[in-house]
Structures are given as C-alpha cells and as structure tokens.
Amino acid sequence: MMRIIATAALVLAMATAQAADPVQGDAAAGEAKAVTCGACHGADGNSVVPNFPKLAGLGEKYLLKQMQDIRDGRRPVAAMAGQVDNMSDQDLADIAAFYDSKVRSTEMADADLLELGRKVYMSGIMERKVAACSGCHSPTGKGNGPGGFPGLAGQHADYIAAQLKMFRKGYEDPAGRTNDGDTKIMRTTAFELSDLEIEAVASYAAGLR
C-alpha cells in the first residue's frame, strides 16, 4: 500500500513539474510562423511605423506573455484582432524566440526632454513614490529577460508613451491596459506621471543604447 502511495505521489510530482516547465521557443521555427507579423512589425522585428512596436530584442519571456494575453483576451489590442487566436503556446513561443534573436534598431531622444526624461527613468519621482524605470528595465534600457521586463532602448517613443497612458488609464478604468499583474506595478507607476513626464521618459528610454 505504501509503495502505491509513494508511486502515485511521484507521478503527481512529475506531472506538476512538467506543467510548470515553460514552453521553449525555437527561433528557426518561429521565422516561418512570423511571416504575417512582418507586415506591421517588420521582417526583422523593427517596425517603421510608431503605432506598431518593435519586437526585435524585446525579451522572449515578455513577448510570449503579451501574445498569450492578447490571444486569451487579457490584453485587448484592436490591431491584433484575430492574428494569434488560433496559435498554440508553442507557436507563440517560437515567434517570441525568433524576434528576440534579432537586433533592435536605434532611436534618438528629444534633446529638449532629455533632462526630465533622465530624471524619471533613472531616479523616479520620490515625492510621488514613482519608482525608477531603470530598476526593472535596466539603466541601459536592455530590460531583464529572465524577469520578464522588456527592453525599451530603441523602441518607438510614441509607442512607449501610448502604453504608459494606457496603463495610467487602467489604474481606474478596465478599458485601459491592465495586464501588469496583481501588483499593478505599471499602472501604479504610470498613474502618478503627467503627460509631459510620460513624453519625456518615453523619449529618453527610446534613445538609450
């Protein structure tokens, strides 16, 4: 009897461990699966239109989660309607791996917004308890891949600003962006930022190398 219980416990533990294992993406397989994505995001993940984010070097873990959230309705994006609805986790993981393997193109920061943008990005705003962006996205804007924090360096400034405003809206209105988890880390941060501060920090982050 004890042997049966022990065996059952081992099988359960193995099943749990397998379920917890993240899907491993295959960049080579992802290249073919991402062909249609290139129409908006660029063949190498470097979109030329600010409305569409650059996916190159975005972070495999982060990109996979965003595509899963879009597919599963946790992050409504009108431009992505129907694009990933029929894709499996493996398909999305492969696409994420493909785009993360690409090098992101660079952008230039607005010189007039540089000082304010640097302050918000590097130091936050203590009096409003706004955390420094560099803590999660790194001082160089390269992000934190294992932590799931995207790289911001070289991203379109307009896109970064738009997402910050969507997070700010999502703090009080579910029609905004709300897929930053139970901690509401992005919603809480963005809620305390003015339009000018958002524009400045977005510009600064975009111009990082």
- Boundaries of every domain in the chain: 2-100, 111-207
Report the C-alpha gap between 57 and 63 in whole angstroms. Answer: 10
CATH topology for 2-100 is Cytochrome Bc1 Complex; Chain D, domain 2 (1.10.760)
Average pLDDT over residues 56-80: 97
CATH of domain 111-207: 1.10.760.10
What's the DSSP call for residue 70? H
Fold match between 2-100 and 111-207? Answer: yes
Average pLDDT over residues 175-203: 97
Mind listing the pLDDT tens digit for each residue in 97-129? Answer: 999 999 999 999 999 999 999 999 999 999 999
pTM of the predicted model as reported, rounded to 2 decimal places: 0.88
Mind listing the pLDDT tens digit for each residue in 138-187? Answer: 999 999 999 999 999 999 999 999 999 999 999 999 999 999 999 999 99
**Is 17 or 99 the better-scoring residue by pLDDT?**
99
Answer yes or no: is pLDDT of 95 > 90: yes
Spacing of C-alpha 113 from chain mean position: 24
**pLDDT reported for residue 22:** 77
